[in-house]
């Protein structure tokens, strides 16, 4: 190659590089991503066999699953698990470290922030005197119950739906947010809701209510399971799936990260979120319920909602608690 042709090649490579970096949101760039074939799937991704029968309804009936223990005692309340946390000086909180809007790392401060992180910090404020006395442990959706059973965390604050089946393994606080399962897809995909997912590929996270529901409500979809909802956004962007289906709250956090995606269709479920707590730690359940009660009454719940979740719609106000005794 002559020196002049070499120079020309280098210059055009540089120009390509520069234009490639100039605006990652231009359409040409997006189309380039779209035609990129066969990128690798995230680790632990599994395609469920298309003839796998949908999971059976568990038939577990615990009355109102969202009814929880009445708060007692306020900040000075005593009990074995409360005393153990005070002796340690830190509240161990299990959450997803990459869930936009709920629990994710603020790129400037490096702190884990979001709706769930803020609720957990309020428990630490009441129990230990400072919202900063928390230690966050990263959990996948499928690890939540086990982490509580193994006592590697005191509480789980991770968009966790209260169900009768889960209540056989762990305890829950009262409801602190209500979500509903919907669908995230690329804009103009032609998908308008769950009914359009027949014959389509859908990403969901294993160990979730979203997985069970999509398999029951849309058995004609091909389901890809991955460890986290952030993984689902990546495989959607790579066009390895046509849609992601989970709670509207989580989907709002994904949609905020990619303007080419949108949340569609009606909600097909009601997902009451509770703070997960090790079964038997009734003192901690009552304590967390006292904190949630304070947040509902003193306006903190509204402040936290307005800080993170207004993309879900106007503030609906905190869900009213129900108590079992
Ligand atoms: N709310 C659903 C559940 O608890 C999905 C939430 C999540 O994966 O974090 O299974």
> Cβ(123)–Cβ(288) under 8 Å?
yes
Residue 19 has pLDDT above 60, yes or no: no
How does pLDDT run across 123-142, given as a tens digit for each residue? 999 999 999 999 999 999 99
Between 58 and 48, name the one with better pLDDT: 48
Task: Report the CATH number that the domain containing residue 301 is assigned in CATH.
Answer: 3.40.190.10
> In the chain, count of helices (H) and strands (E)?
11, 14
Residue 22 has pLDDT above 50, yes or no: no
Residue 103 lies in a domain: yes
How does pLDDT run across 263-298, given as a tens digit for each residue? 999 999 999 999 999 999 999 999 999 999 999 999
Residue 324 lies in a domain: no
The rounded Å distance from CA 211 to ligand 1 centre is 9
The rounded Å distance from CA 270 to ligand 1 centre is 12
Percent of the chain at pLDDT > 90 equals 79
Ligand 1 atom closest to the Cα of residue 161 is 4
Q: What integer pLDDT is reported at residue 28 of this predicted model?
A: 46
Residue 234 lies in a domain: yes
> Cβ(271)–Cβ(303) under 8 Å?
no
CA 25, distance to chain mean position in Å, is: 25
Mean pLDDT score, 214-225: 96
Q: Is the dihedral of CA 211, 64, 314, 130 positive or negative?
A: negative
Ligand 1 atom closest to the Cα of residue 209 is 10
- Helix ranges (H only) for 44-185 are 80-88, 115-128, 144-149, 164-167
Residue 11 lies in a domain: no
Q: Name all residues whose Cβ lies below 6 A of ligand 1.
A: 141, 158-161, 205, 208-210, 246-247, 271
Mean pLDDT score, 174-178: 98
How does pLDDT run across 250-267, given as a tens digit for each residue? 999 999 999 999 999 999
> What pTM did the predictor assign?
0.87
Between 307 and 50, name the one with better pLDDT: 307
Residue 41 lies in a domain: no
**Total domain count, the chain:** 1
Between 31 and 308, name the one with better pLDDT: 308
- Report the nearest-CA residue for atom 9 of ligand 1: 159
Residue 179 lies in a domain: yes
Ligand 1 atom closest to the Cα of residue 207 is 10
- Reported as a pLDDT band with limits 50, 70 and 90, residue 215 is very high
Q: What integer pLDDT is reported at residue 163 of this predicted model?
A: 97
Domain housing 69 = 61-312
Sorted by sequence, the CB contacts under 8 Å of residue 88 that are 6+ apart come out as none
SS3 per residue for 262-280: EEECCCCCCEEEEEEEECC
Residue 204 lies in a domain: yes
- Reported as a pLDDT band with limits 50, 70 and 90, residue 12 is very low
How does pLDDT run across 106-121, given as a tens digit for each residue? 999 999 999 999 999 9
What is the residue-averaged pLDDT of the chain?
90
């Amino acid at each position: 190659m002559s020196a002049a042709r070499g120079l020309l090649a280098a210059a055009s490579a540089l120009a390509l590089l520069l234009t490639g970096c100039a605006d990652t949101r231009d359409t040409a760039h997006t189309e380039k991503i779209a035609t990129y074939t066969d990128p690798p799937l995230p680790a632990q991704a599994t395609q469920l066999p298309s003839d796998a029968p949908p999971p059976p309804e568990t038939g577990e009936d615990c009355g109102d699953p969202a009814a929880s223990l009445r708060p007692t005692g306020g900040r000075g309340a005593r009990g074995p698990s409360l005393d153990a946390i005070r002796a340690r000086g830190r509240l161990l909180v299990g959450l997803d470290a990459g869930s936009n809007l709920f629990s994710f790392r603020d790129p400037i401060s490096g702190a884990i922030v979001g709706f769930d992180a803020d609720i957990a910090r309020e428990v630490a404020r009441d129990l230990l005197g400072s919202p900063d006395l928390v230690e966050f442990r990263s959990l996948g959706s499928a690890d939540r119950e086990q982490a509580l059973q193994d006592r590697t965390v005191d509480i789980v604050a991770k968009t966790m739906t209260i169900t009768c089946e889960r209540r056989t393994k762990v305890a829950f606080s009262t409801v602190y947010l209500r979500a509903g399962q919907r669908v995230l897809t690329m804009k103009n995909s032609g998908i308008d809701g769950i009914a359009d997912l027949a014959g389509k590929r859908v990403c969901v996270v294993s160990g979730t209510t979203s997985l069970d529901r999509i398999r029951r409500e849309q058995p004609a979809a091909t389901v890809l399971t991955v460890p986290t909802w952030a993984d689902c956004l990546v495989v959607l962007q790579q066009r390895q799936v046509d849609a992601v289906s989970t709670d509207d709250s989580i989907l709002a956090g994904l949609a905020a990260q990619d303007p080419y995606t949108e949340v569609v269709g009606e909600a097909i479920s009601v997902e009451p979120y509770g703070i997960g707590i090790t079964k038997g730690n009734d003192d901690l359940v009552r304590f967390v319920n006292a904190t949630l009660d304070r947040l509902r009454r003193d306006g903190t719940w509204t402040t936290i909602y307005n800080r993170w979740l207004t993309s879900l719609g106007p503030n609906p106000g905190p869900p009213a608690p129900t108590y079992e005794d």
